[in-house]
Amino acid sequence: MTPQENLIQRLKNQQGLIGIVGLGYVGLPLMLRYNSIGFKVLGIDINEKKVADLNAGVSDIEHIPNVKIKEAVQSGFQASTDFSRVSECDALILCVPTPLNKYREPDLSYVINTMNSLKPYLRAGQVISLESTTYPGTTEEELLPRVEEGGLKVGENIFLVYSPEREDPGNPDFETRTIPKVIGGHTPSCLEAGIALYEQAIDEVVSVSSTKAAEMTKLLENIHRAVNIGLVNEMKIVADRMGIDIFEVIDAAATKPFGFTAYYPGPGLGGHCIPIDPFYLTWKAREYGLHTRFIELSGEVNKAMPEYVMNKLMDGLNNSGKAVKGSKVLVLGIAYKKNVDDMRESPSVEVMELIRAKGAAVAYSDPHVPVFPKMRAHTFDLNSVALTAESLASYDAVVLTTNHDGFDYDLIKQHAKLIIDTRGIYRDPAAHIIKA
């Protein structure tokens, strides 16, 4: 039996050990899915506290309850910081961050450092899947040579695929199992091994011709959203100048049963994908002498939204006879999207930075983020403010940046002196509400 045949048989019989490297918003749901269908799963992460918490049955992600982690541990899941245990695994799924550096260039250090930590312990008969979003060519250019460095041959005795993550935290309509999985292999035998890995856990596996095609697929999905959100953010500014409610217009346009998809404006782009991933393609395209004008223009529009919100706040305070400097401003919602605790690239924090820079005293309220977390680029020593009639009335303005379902919008409307609404929550005109 060939290494590929043995691997596929072990995966189909659920005898293979699944190794998941990176136990965050992507890796943890994937672990739970494989665990739930009977696979033994080993999680590897460099964060010692995260590993200790998971082994104790404690989740650090709000929408994944502790009870699910406890059940996984009881049925065999283990987390570890020991990369030497990689040799035990039949499959290795890499779910590590791929941020941008300060020059908006791809930072592959997490991927490269992870592969360098794995490669001494790779063995024949394994399949390696990269799920981190990246530019086309990463799997071939960065992973392939490192996998083969010790004498293994990809496509013959070890197998390499790319399968982009498609998690949407907080979305009740989809889960890991029901989101179709795109996969591309370095060789046809790699693709077969990758399909055997994922078809056990995912309802629909969609194969493409190469790892590059799979990498480009993920970028197209996110660029599509970034460009359309940039378009609707620009439309918001035009509509506002004309005295038109853009949310009313979008809702009306969305009644068209073909040819239109509703995208809604906001204070900017947040999350680990949409603000970052398009620039991976922009960077790579330069290697081919190409200039990605749509991507860069939408990035400029979306990046300017926090400033737009700040200008609306200044106008509102000015109309009340107040300066920003010395005012008290409450930001409502600092997660990047509603009903989650995910702070990555949140435009709300950009708005907070701008408010603070203008000399106002800034505070926040977010039922999903009780304490402002440590972030690479932002430092606020703050706790979430409880929303009461008294607390709302004590601020000169509130800026609604993330529309959590947990907010009492009637209470906010009744007691806030000034509301800057970036999410279209308040459709009826009111003297103290400014759409932004």
- Confirm if 340 and 329 have CB atoms less than 8 A apart: no
Architecture of the CATH domain 3-208: 3-Layer(aba) Sandwich (3.40)
Nearest-angstrom CA–CA distance, 88 and 140:
24
| DSSP letter (8 states) at residue 270 | -
Ranking 228-242, 304-318, 327-341, 370-384 by mean pLDDT, the lowest is: 370-384
What class, spelled out in words, does domain 219-285+289-300 have in CATH? mainly alpha
pLDDT band (50, 70, 90) for residue 256? very high
Pairing of strands 158-162, 126-130: parallel
pLDDT band (50, 70, 90) for residue 213? very high
- Confirm if 302 and 229 have CB atoms less than 8 A apart: yes
Mean pLDDT within 342-362: 95
| Residues annotated catalytic, as ranges | 273
Two domains, one topology: 3-208 and 304-435 = yes
The domain spans of the chain are: 3-208, 219-285+289-300, 304-435
pLDDT tens figures, 73-113: 999 999 999 999 999 999 999 999 998 887 778 899 999 99
Average pLDDT, the chain: 95
Helix axes 3-12, 188-198, angle to 10 degrees: 20
Cα of 152 vs its chain's centroid, Å: 33
pLDDT band (50, 70, 90) for residue 153? very high
Mean pLDDT within 105-128: 96
pLDDT band (50, 70, 90) for residue 8? very high
Tell whether domain 304-435 is in CATH 1.10.10.10. Answer: no
Q: Which two tokens stand for residue 301?
A: 């529009």
